[in-house]
Chains A and B, each alone.
Chain A
């Protein structure tokens, strides 16, 4: 374990890359979960002269998931005392139909406008209220946050990859003597560098394991999750099958690719 220090720096570098990718994924997932919540709460109000079935409304836009009529009796009941029954009956007859339309995803302001225009093409529809101006600000902030995280994780991945490359040059230097002796006895490149590949693979596995452990602890102690629950989002920050496998793939991919790079450009041998 002479080279424990080298191991640690490679493992930390790989872990950093994995963590930044995972944070990106978790943010993405959180926003998706928040979108579902917003979608469930969000509806468009349609005012029409004629009765529509859900199917009729659905045929107007693929975004529409379901609709429900808004009953007017409650409003009319409130007016009972102030109006005569005759006038009330007249009002009931002339009153348009109100519908609440739920969508299958949370729309962007542009999508709301499009939907509005689409529905209003129908002459029997009088008014469509999309509430585009009250479009969720938290949501916009989250999208901004997502973009920032994306840029950061890319930058971190690039910088750390360079660090890993430097680290492996160091390994190569340490192993150069052994590798050149092996070459003098006719060992092909892959055999000479087998040790480097083994180190790279072992470190990738360890880095992935540490990532799993970190997210397990976050899960176990309920950091973040409780805060997210508070704003009505339930999301899995780390999936111990899919995410673990993807992380392992990324770690192996980076470390093995970089090992290949230093093996393809070898030191001069004696």
Chain B
């Protein structure tokens, strides 16, 4: 089976004499569904950052979508990122833009015409139950609503890889189940690889998944 992410002896850190992930080797199959758990501060978000090239490997090798992430060029990184959908832990919505335009961002970047992206955005806002908020600005929304906007944005351009950092962290049970079924749908229908950082693996999931746990810089697969 194809691998979308391959890590060999991957070490990650922000400062010189610190290790957040230490010599981890693992791979993520194309089209699979993966959960990453771990204590707060264990390095889950840092690991995701390495997948979208916001932090470079300190040591070892990392490849994402066949692209070597060690010393990647800006243009290659931009190209890769246009095929990844990210839900950030802190949402990272653009304050000056409406909800509608925020969800449209990946489509704008990929150069879709406004009628194509317009209908795609309407569909996604419908999925996350935010049609009525389309014209508002992020700061006029609740935390949970902002999180759902971030989810819709991550799905907008039908990415080959979705990286979601605690996408249900601020949501009630009902909204959470909406998010899980969206991710499940992307995985089963579009064969999108999904990597989710979470504290609770949902019970409702009807698909096979892998589960990695980060502990003291090590990444262990939980059977």
B81 on the interface (CB 8 Å rule)? yes
B-contacting residues, A45-59, CB 8 Å: none
How many residues of chain B get a CB closer than 8 Å to chain A's CBs? 24
Residues on the A chain within 8 Å of B109, using CB: 182, 185-187, 191
A181 on the interface (CB 8 Å rule)? yes
Minimum CB–CB distance for B209 against chain A, Å: 25
| B94 CB contact (under 8 Å) in A181, A186, A188, A270 | A181
Minimum CB–CB distance for A48 against chain B, Å: 80
B4 on the interface (CB 8 Å rule)? no
B-contacting residues, A162-200, CB 8 Å: 177-178, 181-189, 191
Residues on the A chain within 8 Å of B31, using CB: none
Give A178 to B102 CA distance when docked, in angstroms.
11
Q: Do the beta carbons of B78 and A184 come within 8 Å of each other?
A: no
Q: Do the beta carbons of A185 and B82 come within 8 Å of each other?
A: yes
Q: Which of A182, A183, A184 has the most CB of B within 10 A?
A: A184
| B79 CB contact (under 8 Å) in A177, A182, A186, A269 | A186
Q: Do the beta carbons of A184 and B96 come within 8 Å of each other?
A: no
Minimum CB–CB distance for B158 against chain A, Å: 14
Q: Do the beta carbons of B96 and A178 come within 8 Å of each other?
A: yes
Q: Do the beta carbons of A184 and B94 come within 8 Å of each other?
A: no
Q: Do the beta carbons of A185 and B81 come within 8 Å of each other?
A: yes
Residues on the B chain within 8 Å of A270, using CB: 54
Minimum CB–CB distance for A69 against chain B, Å: 79
Q: Do the beta carbons of A188 and B78 come within 8 Å of each other?
A: yes
Minimum CB–CB distance for B30 against chain A, Å: 20
Give A177 to B109 CA distance when docked, in angstroms.
16
Give A270 to B52 CA distance when docked, in angstroms.
11
B95 on the interface (CB 8 Å rule)? yes
Q: Do the beta carbons of B92 and A186 come within 8 Å of each other?
A: no
Nearest residue in B to A180 (C-beta to C-beta)? Answer: B92
Residues on the B chain within 8 Å of A186, using CB: 77-84, 106, 109
Give A1 to B144 CA distance when docked, in angstroms.
29
Minimum CB–CB distance for B52 against chain A, Å: 7
Residues on the B chain within 8 Å of A181, using CB: 92-94, 105
Interface string of A23-45 (1 = CB under 8 A from B): 00000000000000000000000
A-B contact pairs, 10 of them (CB 8 A): A177-B95, A178-B96, A184-B81, A184-B86, A185-B82, A186-B77, A186-B109, A187-B78, A188-B75, A270-B54
Q: Which residues of A contact B (CB under 8 A)?
A: 177-178, 181-189, 191, 269-270
